[in-house]
């Protein structure tokens, strides 16, 4: 069974609703899903400190990142989490895990793409494998905001039970399913021995290796 963690920060509850929808999509395909919320109490003197969450992410096959878009980027609380993963970056702890992302802001655009691109760059720093959204946009339906890098949701000052709307949450479920499918295929292939052999330099005498 694949393990997927949905790691997110939510300021007003709207991103929580999207996270729950992503988790529902992934669990529908049989994945073990952990909803992990970044809390204000996890951040001390500007640094994220929650060893339990970090350990859970270490044990996951895929991590789906979520944050509201504030001032054209992810929330400061999420950035504090990202900055705290430097030791894992150094030892490539999350290399070859699947990754994806979702975000929410008040406008149809609201510069949400900047947040998704931040998630992507963060995942690439860790050597992760990015999974985008595979839904053609439909007016007032799935992927209504026409995003492929990840899921976009829209919410202004409505209660979280009202917005993001049903279409946005269905789109989030779709992403969860796609990540679960990708993680299942990836873990079944399991190229870890080959990867470690390459890192050890054991392919240096491989006669099939073409050198220029």
> For residue 94, what is the domain's CATH number?
3.40.50.360
Inside any domain, residue 20 = yes
Structure tokens at 58: 């270490």
Determine the Cα–Cα distance for residues 97 and 126; give it in Å rounded to an integer. 9
Number of domains in the chain: 1
Of the candidates 73, 81, 76, 132, the one whose C-alpha atom is nearest the C-alpha of residue 105 is 73
Inside any domain, residue 108 = yes
CB 184 within 8 A of CB 29: yes
Residue 18: its pLDDT value, please? 98
Determine the Cα–Cα distance for residues 161 and 47; give it in Å rounded to an integer. 31
Averaged confidence pLDDT in the chain? 91
Lowest-confidence segment of 16-30, 49-63, 146-160, 196-210 by average pLDDT: 196-210
Q: How many helices (H) and strands (E) does the chain have?
A: 7, 9
Residue 211: its pLDDT value, please? 40
Inside any domain, residue 211 = no
Q: Note the pLDDT tens digit of each residue in 72-129.
A: 999 999 999 999 999 999 999 999 999 999 999 999 998 999 999 999 999 999 999 9
Determine the Cα–Cα distance for residues 124 and 53; give it in Å rounded to an integer. 20
The strand pair at 62-70 and 73-74 is best described as antiparallel
> What domain range includes position 139?
3-205
Inside any domain, residue 180 = yes
Mean pLDDT in residue range 128-154: 95
What share of the chain has pLDDT > 70, as a percent?
89
User: What is the band of 4 on the pLDDT scale with cuts at 50, 70, 90?
Assistant: very high
Determine the Cα–Cα distance for residues 77 and 84; give it in Å rounded to an integer. 11
Residue 128: its pLDDT value, please? 98
Residue 195: its pLDDT value, please? 52
pTM (2 decimals)?
Answer: 0.89
Inside any domain, residue 95 = yes
What share of the chain has pLDDT > 90, as a percent?
83
Residue 212: its pLDDT value, please? 38
User: What is the band of 140 on the pLDDT scale with cuts at 50, 70, 90?
Assistant: confident
Residue 199: its pLDDT value, please? 52
Residue 86: its pLDDT value, please? 96
Determine the Cα–Cα distance for residues 200 and 100; give it in Å rounded to an integer. 29
Determine the Cα–Cα distance for residues 51 and 29; give it in Å rounded to an integer. 28
| Residue 194 pLDDT > 60 | no
Q: How far is CA 104 from CA 9, 44, 74, 171, 184, in A?
A: 11, 25, 10, 12, 27
Inside any domain, residue 172 = yes
Q: How far is CA 72 from CA 2, 31, 163, in A?
A: 33, 32, 20
| Residue 158 pLDDT > 70 | yes
Inside any domain, residue 179 = yes
Inside any domain, residue 24 = yes
Crossing angle for the helix pair 14-27 and 166-189, to the nearest 10 degrees: 40
Residue 200: its pLDDT value, please? 52
Residue 134 CA, chain-centre distance (Å), reads 15
């Amino acid at each position: 069974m694949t393990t997927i963690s949905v790691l997110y920060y939510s300021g007003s509850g709207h991103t929580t609703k999207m996270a729950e929808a992503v988790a529902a999509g992934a669990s529908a395909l049989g994945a073990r899903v952990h909803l992990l919320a970044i809390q204000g109490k996890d951040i001390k003197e500007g640094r994220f400190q929650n060893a339990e969450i970090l350990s859970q992410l270490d044990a996951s096959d895929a991590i789906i990142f979520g944050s509201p878009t504030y001032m054209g980027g992810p929330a400061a609380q999420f950035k504090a989490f990202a900055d705290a993963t430097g030791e894992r970056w150094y030892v490539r702890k999350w290399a070859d895990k699947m990754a994806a992302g979702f975000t929410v802001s008040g406008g149809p655009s609201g510069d949400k793409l900047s947040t998704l691109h931040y998630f992507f760059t963060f995942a690439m720093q860790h050597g992760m494998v990015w999974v985008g959204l595979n839904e053609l946009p439909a007016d007032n339906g799935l992927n209504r905001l026409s995003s492929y890098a990840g899921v976009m949701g829209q919410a202004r000052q409505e209660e979280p039970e009202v917005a993001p709307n049903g279409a946005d949450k269905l789109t989030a479920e779709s992403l969860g399913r796609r990540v679960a499918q990708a993680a299942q295929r990836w873990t079944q292939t399991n190229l870890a021995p080959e990867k470690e052999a390459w890192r050890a330099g054991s392919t240096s005498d491989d006669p099939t290796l073409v050198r220029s």
